[in-house]
Amino acid sequence: MKIAVVGCGAVGSYYGARLCRAGQVVHFLLRSDFDVVRRQGVTVQSVAGDFHVQPLCARTPQEIGGCDVVLIALKTTANDQFPKLLPPLVGPHTALVTLQNGLGNAEQLARLFPSEQILGGLCFVCLNRLEPGVIQHMDYGLVVLGEFQRQAGTRTRKLAAGLRDAGVPCKVTDNLAQAQWEKLVWNIPFNGLGVAAAAGLDALTHPPSAGSHGPFVGPCLPTDQLLADPRREKLVRELMLEVIRTARALGHNIPDSLAADRIARTRTMGAYKASTLLDFERHQPLELETMFLEPLRQAQSAGVPVPRLAALCEVLQQLDSPSRS
């Protein structure tokens, strides 16, 4: 397959490197990292064994041209770049696979391309980008692959087989929307509370007033610290159950027991910083719209009480203020 990776941070670089190592023709669309990656390639420091690959590198999508598969791993805050970056890569048979967090990404792609070309991949993996072209893989790696608004077909199963051949555990789902909510059960508390800790634990019960931007009373918290404090673990669990109740109200059969399962799995990760924590510490925009605000809107539309999620969204919006330095 000819594959383009759009968004070569930790997620895009890791899965792109795996596919490159397996012999696929992989093009990385790069901006600031172009010179380093073209010269030095991509090094993955992995619990499953380190490796190095030399993907093809391009500065513009026009240099790459039409592809069989486009892996989209952009931060969702950059989705406004879809019309500029994607059309030169897409032909009538191209599979567009969004590996992005949250809700609404496939819908944005469907405004530009036929819905039957759109897939989603949910990545359950612990990754960090240490520097340009260097990715640290600490744990997990599963991809759950599905098609937008329909059951999985032959193309999806072929792509899943290609990922498995590349050393990536991959499952196929016939219900992509439910898989997205299942991932939010983890993403919302561990990404959200980890950042909200900068405003203090009490902010979840007493959100900051409109227009206030601090003071921030503490650092962001990785997963192990969120679970080490009984009060924080209680908030994690309450947020998870609000997400699960919302998903069930929307017709997705997700049991309450998923919360305990996700917490147990998280304990094995050690001091892992979720992506939103890293964005906050680097003073980059947070992925609020897809990962927090859209789930909140859907909960409210479904009539599901989600006081913890509503408070979390309010705190994160204050912390994401452009005035922070």
Give me the number of domains the chain comprises: 2
Q: Is residue 205 part of a domain?
A: yes
Q: Is residue 324 part of a domain?
A: no
Mean pLDDT of the chain: 94
Q: Let me know whether 146 and 245 are in one domain.
A: no
For 219-232, what is each residue's pLDDT tens digit? 899 999 999 999 99
Residue range 266-277: mean pLDDT, rounded: 94
Final residue in a domain of this structure, among 174, 200, 235: 174
Which among 75, 84, 171, 183 is annotated as catalytic?
Answer: 183
Residue 63 has what pLDDT?
98
The model's pTM is: 0.93
Domain that holds residue 14: 2-174
Residue 215 has what pLDDT?
47
Q: Let me know whether 200 and 165 are in one domain.
A: no
Q: Let me know whether 67 and 201 are in one domain.
A: no
SS3 string, the chain, reads CEEEEECCCHHHHHHHHHHHHCCCEEEEECCCCHHHHHHHCEEEEECCCCEEECCEEECCHHHHCCCCEEEECCCHHHHHHHHHHCHHHCCCCCEEEECCCCCCHHHHHHCCCCHHHEEEEEEEEEEEEEECCEEEEEEEEEEEEEECCECCCHHHHHHHHHHHHCCCCEEECCCHHHHHHHHHHHHHHHHHHHHHHHHCHHHHCCCCCCCCCCCCCCCCCCHHHHHHCHHHHHHHHHHHHHHHHHHHHCCCCCCCHHHHHHHHHHHHHCCCCCHHHHHHHCCCCCCHHHHHHHHHHHHHHCCCCCHHHHHHHHHHHHHCCCCCC
Q: Let me know whether 168 and 46 are in one domain.
A: yes
Final residue in a domain of this structure, among 174, 197, 225: 174
Residue 199 has what pLDDT?
83
- Does 183 qualify as catalytic in the annotation? yes
pLDDT-above-70 percentage for the chain: 93
Q: Let me know whether 206 and 154 are in one domain.
A: no
Q: Let me know whether 167 and 194 are in one domain.
A: no
For 22-74, what is each residue's pLDDT tens digit? 999 999 999 999 999 999 999 999 999 999 999 999 999 999 999 999 999 99
Residue range 151-166: mean pLDDT, rounded: 96
For 73-99, what is each residue's pLDDT tens digit? 999 999 999 999 999 999 999 999 999
Residue 207 has what pLDDT?
53
Q: Is residue 325 part of a domain?
A: no
Query: What's the CATH number where 259 sits?
Result: 1.10.1040.10
Q: Let me know whether 85 and 223 are in one domain.
A: no
Q: Let me know whether 141 and 224 are in one domain.
A: no
How sure is the predictor about 218, in pLDDT bands with cuts at 50, 70 and 90?
Answer: confident
Q: Let me know whether 135 and 202 are in one domain.
A: no
Q: Is residue 228 part of a domain?
A: yes
Final residue in a domain of this structure, among 174, 196, 219: 174
Q: Let me know whether 183 and 122 are in one domain.
A: no
Q: Is residue 265 part of a domain?
A: yes
pLDDT-above-90 percentage for the chain: 90
Residue 202 has pLDDT above 80, yes or no: no
Query: What's the CATH number where 101 sits?
Result: 3.40.50.720
Residue range 120-148: mean pLDDT, rounded: 97
Q: Is residue 167 part of a domain?
A: yes
